[in-house]
Structure 1
């Protein structure tokens, strides 16, 4: 497994939604699962420009209802992912640049959807050619997209330059001002991170959203730092650590921690973060596997899963999706399971970390942010 290099708000909150209500609205019947099919009509999607409405070819055999079953009994509820969806413009040595859908939170949403989870993404992109590619990609992957996410002035891009070993450096052109989420289904897990959590004005919305949904959902956070956008580590660190304190599950790479806390031992930083509130902090070490510490006092190291590395794009996001899926299958998602998550047992923790490592290993074995489906994972 390789996690890959990084490419790269206010605390006031609205009242937390209760089960059986639509956040921001009045009480009403809320279905336990929402449809995976895209909406028949989206007022923010242009209908008169073939270039903007064309559907690109599918990038994978995405999850389709009925193809297979989820593991265990805990397959209800939905994930809400809040964060950037953008176009990765990839430059490989000796090749013409190519554009692909990306963005760390969007990659996590796709990873969860391919594992059969019901996922809604709140993002921010435009009704332009790049935005059309993003929308079609997310629809093909069965990620439900908040309609107001497509009201940006332009679609963000990240230019990834890969070296001969497949490692990437990034340049960004970003706009981030998402709407306040109003999901159809009250989520059992909310994931956010990376650029979305630090770039204003949207970072304020992210902070408000985390505080709002903590009463009903497990909060997942991946700092996934982008030094080119986050400025000085001394300025970024307080923002990151405020979100860490609100999170239940934190996944962070050793490279992220080396930037946020230069010279510090990554595991000591993780232990310090754990003391501020999370139930679980996982530090990934690329080809050296991952290490986790829990509020119940467990510490576990798991090796990387074997893989022929093609490139590392999206590996960390795939690990996060696998981590959340494993915790979900173990019945540890939702605010009502917060104490159970804090006291996760060693066997369950090792099983979840092993799944996350296998998900990441499959991703690095092929080009781009291309995580496995449930069928691929179970065939391993």
Structure 2
């Protein structure tokens, strides 16, 4: 099964502590790029259509993706690779200050249409490049299933009402949608996550998943609502955890067409959440967005590999 991910790459810059004398750390990032990287680490056939500059950060990101088996199609070369300065709070939660533009104009690479398309984050809602992303989504969904993760970045979303409309358009084009409780709190500050998930389900997706950090996650299918606890993990930081969750969801759903996604039972959703939660737990246990490969993920699902330190 083939995957196409369309979206941004970002160099995540973690500043060194003041006065430490250490150098800032640079981690390859960007939510869509992280999802593609996670799928590649799990052995999936995946292509990323993105923008990267011919600079140190761009080369670092591209090399990491290719090392995981991701085919990288660079639509355009911007003057510099987008970046985000990452701040971590006492619990390892990340906040970002961005220097990014998204100006993609081209469509998917030549060749057979993918079996699944994933979109999300800045690239799906930021002009002018979002128009190309949505045009490709509308074209490809006739043959491919579609997933979407809004990965809300308030500083880049523009006016609130227009941002909500853009997000809901993406939701309506999708078969699988994943969002965090923080995403939903910004989009719909007066609504409970379950209510939003139910309303999004009514827009068209067969499956809506919501992550809630240490509080776990839930999945709402056409006939079932299933909740899962987060796996215990020693949190280093949360960078890329949601993207790792998304990659594992797509891996677990691989091969299911639109009709099959609509027929997922409670046991299917429970297994899917366990798989995705395990991937996220591995990711938060180490610095930066470092999702598990298939052997690491299966080891965690079999038992206590994460707590014993083997999932490294």
- Say yes or no: TM over 0.5: yes
1:117-156 → structure 2 map (5 Å cutoff) = 117-146=44-73, 148-156=74-82
Residue in structure 1 matching 2:171, options 228, 244, 259:
244
Corresponding residue number in structure 2 for 1:256 = 183
1:78 paired to 2:6: no
Larger deviation, residues 170-179 vs 349-358: 170-179
Corresponding residue number in structure 1 for 2:279 = 359
Larger deviation, residues 152-161 vs 352-361: 152-161
Corresponding residue number in structure 1 for 2:262 = 342
1:317 paired to 2:237: no
Q: Partners in 2 of 1:149 and 1:100 — Cα distance?
A: 22
Q: Partners in 2 of 1:274 and 1:175 — Cα distance?
A: 31
Corresponding residue number in structure 2 for 1:306 = 232
Shift of 1:125: 1.4
Corresponding residue number in structure 2 for 1:47 = none
Q: Partners in 1 of 2:85 and 2:164 — Cα distance?
A: 25
Check 1:167–1:96 CA distance in 2 against 1; reply closer, same or farther (3 A cut): farther
Q: Which residues of structure 2 form unaligned runs of 5+? A: 301-312
SS in 2 for 1:123: strand
Q: CA RMSD in A?
A: 1.3
Q: Partners in 2 of 1:344 and 1:318 — Cα distance?
A: 21
Q: Is the 8 A contact 1:186 1:216 kept in 2?
A: yes
Q: Partners in 2 of 1:371 and 1:288 — Cα distance?
A: 20
SS in 1 for 2:51: coil
Residue in structure 2 matching 1:275, options 202, 212, 221:
202
Q: Partners in 2 of 1:272 and 1:92 — Cα distance?
A: 43
Larger deviation, residues 219-228 vs 337-346: 337-346
Shift of 1:203: 0.3
The structure whose Rg is larger is 1
Q: Partners in 1 of 2:276 and 2:229 — Cα distance?
A: 11
SS in 2 for 1:116: coil
Greater fraction strand = 2
Q: Partners in 2 of 1:168 and 1:318 — Cα distance?
A: 15
Shift of 1:185: 3.8
Shift of 1:183: 4.7
Q: Partners in 1 of 2:57 and 2:230 — Cα distance?
A: 35
Q: Partners in 2 of 1:364 and 1:217 — Cα distance?
A: 31
1:1-380 → structure 2 map (5 Å cutoff) = 77-91=1-15, 93-94=17-18, 96-146=23-73, 148-178=74-104, 179-295=106-222, 297-328=223-254, 331-332=255-256, 337-380=257-300
Superposition misfits of 4+ residues, deviation over 3 angstroms: 92-96
Q: Partners in 1 of 2:91 and 2:198 — Cα distance?
A: 32
Q: Is the 8 A contact 1:91 1:162 kept in 2?
A: no
Greater fraction helix = 2
Shift of 1:150: 4.9
- Give me the TM-score of the superposition, normalised by structure 2: 0.92
Q: Is the 8 A contact 2:88 2:95 kept in 1?
A: yes
The number of aligned residues is 296
Q: Partners in 2 of 1:240 and 1:293 — Cα distance?
A: 18
Shift of 1:92: 5.1
Shift of 1:163: 2.4
